[in-house]
Structure 1
């Protein structure tokens, strides 16, 4: 997850297998932010099962998509759902920051069901960082609960001044700082114990103009939210949800080119990132093709005429076997002050992968399949 705000805005986990998919409704957020990358390797962990049920999530205005989680003895907090990182952490009552990051709800560590491990964690994201203490306890989403899960309680934060009270990483264990510190896995989804075809979760991200809710489905897919086939891409690393982009191409108006290159052939699907982050030359070409103008070359942000949300050209990303087309309404992002920015930005370095954030996931229902180490894309079905 790249957490970088932009102007416009484990110990043993005990569980028993969950048997049915859980679908959560998403509602929306409001300050644009890029999010950070992180992921991890799957390890064997014990399992816990609780009642399968649905509950609303908070989806914040085409920018962040967040869920209510229960911690310990019924505490309810709101977290950012992030396939680009692997740690779970919540804001602590002693949290300090220099940018307002510590505002919001805080986990109550006096809850008798939460246990201190006596260990600390520190994680850096794209535009911020968090550090604090590691506790263990139950962490649940929609009744799917991981018991004795190691998670962080922040004492210092930077770059997390949105509306969330923490972060729930949905990547792999290999880049989980808490897993490394504890010397055992701390992956929330793995702790639920799905196996076989249920060992997957999927995202439908709603569009602000449609007025519907997005959702995450845990343990499967929701066929009502997509049409046609799911197009699968194998992962080439159990770090991020990363796939080979060497044959991936882009087309934006009269501009076209390759996403991959001899020095950068990887791409990542990341629900914790708002935008699509590409290298400078690609971002410049695409924004020229869709009619966007540079606003801040250092930050890599482009202004775009808000009217192009209705009249602009589609942005296409294609593989030899399928093409994904993003409507202009999804990549023209309203700043709320009469201006709009492009959903494609600079930021991918010389050797770093292309990041496909929520701009793509709104257009294409995305399935994260741990059973088969692959990520899948299908045409999202929106109300309008």
Structure 2
């Protein structure tokens, strides 16, 4: 991490930072303080607060300012709480001199081994997380407002896992990396349906196989890099389970297939903005060589489509998580209130 700082009246060009693929999470190494201490943070488009201290303790430096306030964030399965600070934050070669961050004293179990979360969702998601302010400017918001990046855009490049701790991802700040996708980026406006509109939400429908068996009709959901799987509302999930013939696995909680069922598995399609985004049979299964990481049987085939446990028309009827994003390049454009998706060389890959 660089400690070099510039004063400039010109916005910089887009910058990219490599991300580490931990199989079920993508992680950015972020510097905090001066001199910097590096922290491994989950890259999460489904939240907007950034906090450290979950594993490695927060190191105070001359740039640390205690705001004498607290934060509390509720995630889908648990919470994170702690104290609020301002400090220098470094990502790629970009330095935000006074970013508000949380320093956790209690965190969610899913962060085992990680130091916290880099929240890159819309800043309105920070509302109500601290008495210090109505909302807290996110890292991306500060990068843009301080003219450190040319546009209020970021993009994610993920790809299927081939090895643990593989540095095969990338976040691009202020633009896109055209070397990471094929064809054109297709943009769609953000959903206007609550609560999806508070997130990186899109409207979509889904069908299964060449016969186009409906999984769910047009409804709202979100794109969330902090969720490992593709998750469907309960009704759609049960429909998917029925058409695939999968059975729940008690040990992992995932759906499982036998070899014959996997051979017959068809593609799942998400229809977004008039385009069908294919999730192939291979892309629907957890990478088998890593089954032991989820306490699974090495000889079983597990699906990466899960139950969101939401009722139909709840306003968040699906989540396109990491496993979807490993097949498509994604662009998050705050200024134009839109999301872009593009195919990559891994969209149809058979790596699992």
State the TM bucket, normalised to the shorter chain. Answer: 0.7 to 0.9
User: Gaps spanning 5+ residues in structure 2: where?
Assistant: 1-6
Q: Distance in 1 between matches of 2:263 and 2:86?
A: 49
Using the alignment, how far apart are the partners of 2:255 and 2:134 within structure 1?
Answer: 43
The answer to whether 1:243 aligns with 2:202 is yes
- Is 1:138 aligned to 2:88, yes or no? yes
SS in 2 for 1:106: coil
- Offset of 1:185 from its aligned partner? 3.2
Q: Distance in 2 between matches of 1:163 and 1:341?
A: 24
Q: Does 1:88 align with 2:47?
A: no
Structure-1 residue corresponding to 2:227? 273
For residues 212 and 237 of structure 2, the distance between their equivalents in structure 1, rounded to whole angstroms, comes to 11
Q: Distance in 2 between matches of 1:281 and 1:15?
A: 53
Q: Who is 2:18 aligned against?
A: 25
Match of 1:220 in 2: 175
Q: 1:76 aligns with which of 16, 32, 38?
A: 38
1:124 aligns with 2:93: no
**1:280 shift after superposition:** 1.6
Preserved CA contact (<8 Å) 2:45 2:224: yes
Question: What is the deviation of 1:340?
Answer: 3.5
**2:341 counterpart SS class:** strand
TM-score normalized with structure 2 length: 0.82
C-alpha contact 1:114 1:136 (8 A) present in aligned 2? yes
Q: Is the 8 Å Cα contact of residues 87 and 187 (structure 1) preserved in structure 2?
A: yes
Report the CA distance between 1:179 and its aligned residue.
6.3
SS at match of 2:132: helix
Distance in 2 (alpha carbons) for counterparts of 1:349 and 1:119: 34
Question: Matches of residues 176-255 of structure 1 in structure 2 within 5 Å?
Answer: 176=126, 177-178=128-129, 181-193=132-144, 198-209=151-162, 213-237=168-192, 239-245=198-204, 248-252=205-209
Q: Deviations over 1:342-373 (max 9, x none)?
A: 11111241214111101211111111011210
Query: 1:303-382 alignment to 2 at 5 Å?
Result: 303-305=256-258, 312-319=265-272, 321-333=274-286, 334=288, 335-336=291-292, 337-338=297-298, 339-350=300-311, 351-353=314-316, 354-382=318-346
Cα 1:290/1:355, change in 2 over 3 Å: same
Pick which of 359-368 and 318-327 moved more: 318-327
The answer to whether the Cα contact below 8 Å between 1:304 and 1:340 also exists between their aligned partners in 2 is: yes
CA RMSD after TM alignment = 2.9
CA distance in 2, matches of 1:187, 1:179: 13
> 1:105 maps to what in 2?
56
Alignment partners' CA distance in 2, 1:307 and 1:214: 33
Quote the offset at 1:199 in angstroms: 2.0
Distance in 2 of aligned mates of 1:348 and 1:232: 28
State the 1:197 CA deviation.
7.2
Aligned CA distance change for structure 1 residues 137 and 316 (closer, same or farther; 3 Å): same
In structure 2, the CA distance between the partners of 1:145 and 1:301, relative to structure 1 (3 Å rule), is: same
The 5 Å alignment of 1:39-50 reads: none
Give the secondary structure class of the aligned counterpart of 2:323. helix
Distance 2:72 2:140 in 1: 21
Counterpart secondary structure, 2:72: strand
**In 2 relative to 1, CA 327–249 (structure 1 residues): closer, same or farther, beyond 3 Å?**
closer
Q: TM-score, normalised to structure 1's length?
A: 0.75
Deviation at 1:59, TM superposition (A): 1.5
Q: Distance in 1 between the 2:245 and 2:268 partners?
A: 11
What CA distance in whole angstroms lies between the structure 1 residues aligned with 2:150 and 2:220?
A: 26
Q: 1:307 to 1:126 in 2, by over 3 A?
A: farther
